[in-house]
Amino acid sequence: MNLVITEAQREDVDGLCNRLRDIDMLEVSSLGGTAKEALLEGFDGGMIFTAKDKKDNVVCMFGSADAEVGDAGVVWMLGSELVDTYKKDVLKLTKKFVQKISKPYKKVYNYIHEGNKKSIRWLKWCGFDVDCTRTYQFGGENFYYFKKDLSHV
């Protein structure tokens, strides 16, 4: 295994925010913020984790936070170009952690840019329903809604 996932530390944000994948940067800016603001927001409740390689480079950060309604949570992940370098490890490790960050909720959801094809495939592989039949506009860009119902688990 080439990656280690740990609870995120605030200093991890600096290791990732200037190295985000272009598609992640587009998502963040479309939602009206900077990469640093988006990542720091993750520390406001919920859970947040960092995946690093053996050289201590931040590969990605991901987590969940309480949604504004009911027993729902918002899940997210932002990554560097190293996500592609460590694709197999990211797939294996993050699938387990998706279950962990989703556990406190009856439903988890978020929006993903329609052009983020790799992440859409990953979400489906992790058991999310991605509604590609309808788009939602954020910052002039099209996003798909995705969710996972956990009420029956």
pLDDT recorded at residue 152: 66
Maximum mean pLDDT: which of 15-19, 45-49, 66-70, 91-95: 15-19
pLDDT recorded at residue 55: 95
CATH topology of domain 3-149: Aminopeptidase (3.40.630)
The answer, yes or no, to whether residue 47 has pLDDT greater than 70, is yes
87-101 pLDDT, tens digit each: 989 888 888 888 888
Beta strands in 3-150 (DSSP E): 3-7, 47-53, 58-66, 72-79, 107-113, 129-138, 141-149
Q: Quote the percentage of the chain above a pLDDT of 70.
A: 99
DSSP secondary-structure letter at 68?
A: S
Query: pTM for this structure?
Result: 0.92
What is the rounded CA–CA span in Å between residue 32 and residue 85?
Answer: 29
- 23 by DSSP, 3-state: which? helix
124-143 pLDDT, tens digit each: 998 999 999 999 999 999 99
- 115 by DSSP, 3-state: which? coil
